[in-house]
Amino acid sequence: MQTIELVDETYDINTINTYCLSIRVSLDGLSFCIADKQQEKIVAFKHYQINSAVDSEDLAIVVNKLLQDEQSLPKHPIKVTILYVSPNYTLVPEELFVDTKAKELLSITHQLDELDEVHFIKIEEPKAMLIYAFPSTLARKVKSVFPTALLMPQVYPFLNRLREEKFSEIPFVGIHVNENFFDLAIYSKKNLQLLNSYTYKSPSDVLFFLANALKTLGLESATISVAGATEEGMAIIPALKKFYPQTFNDPFSGNFTLSYKIRDHVKARFSNLFYSTSCE
């Protein structure tokens, strides 16, 4: 298990009513960052790499132990957000959404595990409900440590971040690279035209799915923002630039200043985590 740890000298875990905590959980590990509301600054970040493949039940056990043993977590966070990295989500127009049918709607396009809970959250733009799966075993474990934690998918902060950026260039594409899949959002005429996730093994896979999606929407070119890639995964960017010159690495955009100790490749890989650390 490899660990990345960056802590600002101003961070004090005993301070009350100051810190907001965001935790990212995926099959590759657990990460967290802490925002200081008063300083408007990310003051701590840590990532535990899990090297062995595990299912959601095993992951829940590992995550629970890490959270119980972790000495850097604030003792009195004013807000806790848990991000679970999964492609199991879908958008439904608000006027068509029925909460009692949420699981049925998600099951139409995604294969759910028996132990998955189905949650939903409102999206302001477009007016829609984001339905997503969250493993029940993981939910119980994190709730036992942080009872008031908000449970959400990684695509929620991804969409919120893009909503702030997309009007600078239209058409606009957002790509967030995860461990074995990527999230893709395409905006045209100031509206979200497509949101989906795709499994990939190489940069050419990302290019293939992007090109097909743009062609289907009748778009020939676009400005493309890429985040989430590891240092090894950065090869995706030059591969896209060959056909879409307006492709750029988008490490972070949010309401908090990042500590100078956090390098750009870390900002890019964990941009959803940093962006989700909100004290609102």
Query: Is the pLDDT confidence value at 188 over 80?
Result: yes
Look at residue 163 and give its three-state secondary structure.
helix
Q: Phi/psi zone of residue 66: left (φ > 0), alpha (ψ -120 to 50 degrees), beta? A: alpha
**Mean pLDDT value across residues 231-251:** 85
Residue 206 lies in a domain: yes
Q: Residues 211, 185: one domain?
A: yes
Q: Does the pLDDT of residue 1 top 50, yes or no? A: no
Give the Cα separation of 162 and 250 in Å (integer).
11
Is 104 among the domain residues?
A: no
Confidence of residue 66 (pLDDT cuts 50, 70, 90): confident
Looking at the domain assignment, is residue 62 inside a domain?
yes
- Top pLDDT among 280 and 127 is at 127
Say yes or no: 211 and 269 in one domain. Answer: no
Domain presence at residue 153: no
Helix H or strand E segment including 46:
strand 41-49
Range(s) of the domain holding residue 242: 164-249
Q: What is the pLDDT of residues 10-59, one digit of tens each?
A: 888 888 888 999 999 987 789 999 999 888 888 889 998 876 656 777 88
Same domain, 20 and 78: yes
User: Is residue 21 domain-resident?
Assistant: yes
Name the least confident of 111-125, 130-144, 197-211, 251-265.
Answer: 251-265
169 falls within a domain: yes
* 41's tokens: 């600054």
Looking at the fold, whether 201 and 266 belong to one and the same domain comes out as no
d(CA 236, CA 69): 36
256 touches 35 (CB < 8 A):
yes
Q: Give a yes or no: residue 174 inside a domain.
A: yes
Nearest to residue 190, comparing CAs of 274, 241, 125, 236? Answer: 125
* Total count of domains within the chain: 2
Assigned token pair, 218:
């009748």
Q: Are residues 202 and 261 in the same domain?
A: no
Helix (H, G, I), strand (E, B) or coil at 185: strand
Q: pLDDT higher for 98 or 50? A: 98
Same domain for 269 and 217:
no
Task: Give the H/E segment covering residue 199.
Answer: strand 191-199
Clarify whether residues 69 and 31 are in a common domain. Answer: yes
Q: Are residues 177 and 229 in the same domain?
A: yes
Report d(CA 38, CA 73) in Å as an integer: 17
Same domain, 183 and 201: yes
CATH number of the domain at 221, please. Answer: 3.30.420.260
Residues 226 and 198 in one domain: yes
CATH number at residue 28: 3.30.420
Same domain, 215 and 262: no
CB 47 within 8 A of CB 4: yes
Residue among 48, 65, 56 nearest 5 (CA): 48
173 in a structural domain: yes
Cα torsion 104, 124, 194, 158: sign: negative
Are residue 178 and residue 238 in the same domain, yes or no?
yes
What is the structure's pLDDT at 53? 55
pTM of the prediction?
A: 0.90
